[in-house]
Structure 1
Amino acid sequence: MSKNILLICGSGASSGFMAANMRKAVKKLGLDYKIKARSESELGDYANDIDALMVGPHLKAEFKGIQERVPDTVKVILMKADYYSLLDGKGAIEHLEQELND
């Protein structure tokens, strides 16, 4: 079953690079994920169409407020700085999979 994943960061730039690397990783892993990146300010436009929201680690202070802006059915994940800073798409997918299966 396909899953819609949204990544957000402050402006959408760093999450755009991360999303591209995650798309490469899911292709190699054979997973059916649709991954998009947007700025935090655009969240409301996408909140009802996603299965998971991955939040850039630099938005940690706003994490609770961001969680409150999406439906309860959306899994909200704070990305870890260790893979985010390296734009490690495979590391991000591994974290996503772990969170979705919890």
Structure 2
Amino acid sequence: MINIVLFCSTGLSTNLLIRKIENAAEKKDIAVNVKSYPESIMKKYISDADVVLVGPQVKHALTEIKEECDAHHVPLEVIPTRDYGLMDGEKVLAQALRLFSLHNPEKE
């Protein structure tokens, strides 16, 4: 099970994206747990994440999020604006899996 945490402005805008990521993972028979939270409460959830993805609308908080992720050794990337805007669950899942495999080669 790969724990993917998404941070956005309110934690609500990514609900559709979460469903699309879960559907893409189900099609590939990959076990994922995807959650979304507002970046304002990120410190409560980073330690449980295997991968953190940030919505493009909160890039302004990237430095602070990166510091927290680094402290917990959790890989982090910003979701490309196009993928986020199109709610492309397959591309965002691929991004999360790539990050996970880069930081956890023994778990592939």
Distance 2:75 2:31 in 1: 17
Q: Which residue of structure 2 aligns with residue 82 of structure 1?
A: 82
With normalisation by structure 2, the TM-score equals 0.84
Is the 2:4–2:33 contact (alpha carbons within 8 Å) kept by the matching residues of 1?
yes
Report the AA paired with residue 7 of structure 2: I
- The alignment's TM-score, normalised by the length of structure 1, stands at 0.89
Mapped partners of 2:45, 2:7: distance in 1: 11
1:80 and 1:100 map into 2 onto residues whose CA distance is: 17
How many Å separate the matches in 1 of 2:46 and 2:99? 18
Hey, what's the Cα distance between the residues in 2 that align with 1:40 and 1:16? 15
Moved over 6 A (4+): none
Structure 1: which amino acid aligns with 2:22?
R
Answer whether contact 1:16 1:38 (CA < 8 A) is retained: no
- CA distance in 1 between counterparts of 2:72 and 2:84 reads 25
RMSD: 1.4
How many residues align? The count is 101
5 Å-filtered alignment, 1:1-102, equals 2-70=1-69, 71-102=71-102
Does structure 2 retain, via aligned residues, the 8 Å contact 1:6–1:50?
yes
Q: Tell me which moved more, 64-73 or 78-87.
A: 64-73
Between the aligned partners of 2:75 and 2:41, the Cα distance in structure 1 is 18
For 2:82 and 2:15, the matched residues in 1 are separated by 17
> How high is the sequence identity, in percent, across the aligned residues?
25
